[in-house]
Structure 1
Amino acid sequence: MTQRARLLVPVVLLLVAAVLLWLASRATWLEVVAFNDQSGEVVRSLTGSDWQPALVPLALGAVAAIAAVALVRGIGARVIGAVIALLGLAAVLLVLSGVGDIDTDRAHSVVTSSEGQARTDAGPGAEGSAAVPEWSQITEISTRAAGPAATGAGAFALLAAGVVVMLRPVRAVSRDDRYVTPAARRQDAATTVESDPDSGRDLWQDLDDGRDPTV
């Protein structure tokens, strides 16, 4: 794998992961139906950020990891790769906790919370604007697959990026890989002549042949 690929592959994977996790935070994960004797039946749509608040920090962490991958080299890059893989594992845990049997008590706590969209995201009189009192009963919970699916794909991208960085980190730039100015080349040539006078013959031969010995 070339140096360019060692940098480009994890950066692309991290960008994909960040976008997918952000989309998952905006997608609907649950439709919760609550009933109380005052407002009757109330339906709440819980987005990923409502049900899994860690999605947004994970997306931001993927973005921050892009800068770390671009700047850190060698052993430090392997450490960054391990951290990225841990973020991927955290995303996997979010997926596992978001599928299967849903915790009714937790859903009740979210929809009766005084903060966020779960309580009310509409103005007075608008459809679905009724608050959900704490004494409401959850009568139905339905899941949506888009959010968990996007989270799973984002987790896979994070894990893949972490593995690539750990196994194939970008190498530190050696002196031989850096750009050497013509003046530096001439200085090196002069130093070589001083240490090995016979090498000067090659320089004169290059000049006689019309070649630049510093190139």
Structure 2
Amino acid sequence: MKRNRTGALLTAIAGAAMWAFSRMSWISAEYNDDLSGTGQAFITGAEWSTEITAVAVLLIAGGVAAFALRKVGRRVVGAICALAAAGAAVPAGLLLARGADHERIQAILTAGAEEAATDTSSSTIANWAEITGADVAALGPVLTLLGCVLGLVGGVYLALKPGDDAPRQHKYEKEAVRKETIRSDLKEEPDSGRVMWDALDADIDPTAEGDFQSPRPTS
């Protein structure tokens, strides 16, 4: 069970880390608005790559579910989490390698321009504003990549070493154990009315088990 817990914990921790790091500011963009002049806006990791949030939730849910699932289920969950974590690493990796595309920055910042008209705290900009520069804050993407790696390791570990299931007797095994216990009781307490009724309930002929005696009537 330790292996199962290790993989599940790594996966859940990775999801929580990715969720937190995706809330950090990844990009600071400078823009020029003909009406309001120049300004600066910020884009978080969740805004730049919406799939990161979805993967983070998936990893957390997968890690929690692994504690309740059987061995095969843990393998499946581990494989899914590993693939999802690997896929979530792509946007952060590309951002660090290629930088931020100005057209995409403008699309993100102008996406809610109309709704943001009365929201002075929003980072959205006017549709006609021009992006003049962009800087990538590497800390957020790097930490998110580390979270993805942790999720990948946790998922693979869970898939390859899901641990053993807790013993769970099959119903036929339980029935066999129950009958054996009743037979033993018949030998030890052949005159017990309770044991006789237990035997009849379990389809055991009490007269064929040991030295059976009819239960003595009570006065």
TM-score for the superposition, normalised by structure 2: 0.71
Letter in 2 for 1:171: D
Distance 1:175 1:27, change over 3 A: closer
Aligned counterpart, 2:203: none
Aligned counterpart, 2:81: 84
Report the Cα distance in structure 2 between the residues aligned to 1:159 and 1:115, rounded to whole angstroms: 37
Report the Cα distance in structure 1 between the residues aligned to 2:158 and 2:95, rounded to whole angstroms: 29
SS at match of 2:50: coil
Report the Cα distance in structure 2 between the residues aligned to 1:21 and 1:105, rounded to whole angstroms: 25
Which residue of 155, 158, 165 maps to 1:162? 155
Distance 1:189 1:116, change over 3 A: farther
Report the Cα distance in structure 2 between the residues aligned to 1:120 and 1:31, rounded to whole angstroms: 21
Deviations 1:40-70 (A, max 9, x none): 1021011112111112211111111023211
| Identity percentage of aligned residues | 25
Q: Indicate if the aligned counterparts of 1:51 and 1:110 stay in contact, CA closer than 8 A.
A: yes
Where does the alignment leave 5 or more consecutive residues of structure 1 unmatched?
A: 195-215
Which residue of 26, 41, 45 maps to 2:23? 26
Q: CA deviation at 1:116?
A: 11
Report the Cα distance in structure 2 between the residues aligned to 1:130 and 1:64, rounded to whole angstroms: 31
Deviations 1:63-114 (A, max 9, x none): 1102321122222321111101111112211222322222111011111121
Equivalences for residues 1-215 of structure 1 within 5 A: 3=1, 5-101=2-98, 102-114=100-112, 123=120, 132-175=125-168, 187=181, 190=184
Pairwise CA RMSD of aligned residues?
Answer: 3.2
SS at match of 2:30: strand
Distance 1:131 1:79, change over 3 A: closer
Q: Indicate if the aligned counterparts of 2:4 and 2:161 stay in contact, CA closer than 8 A.
A: no
SS at match of 1:29: strand
- How many residue pairs get aligned? The number is 180
TM-score for the superposition, normalised by structure 1: 0.72
SS at match of 1:99: helix
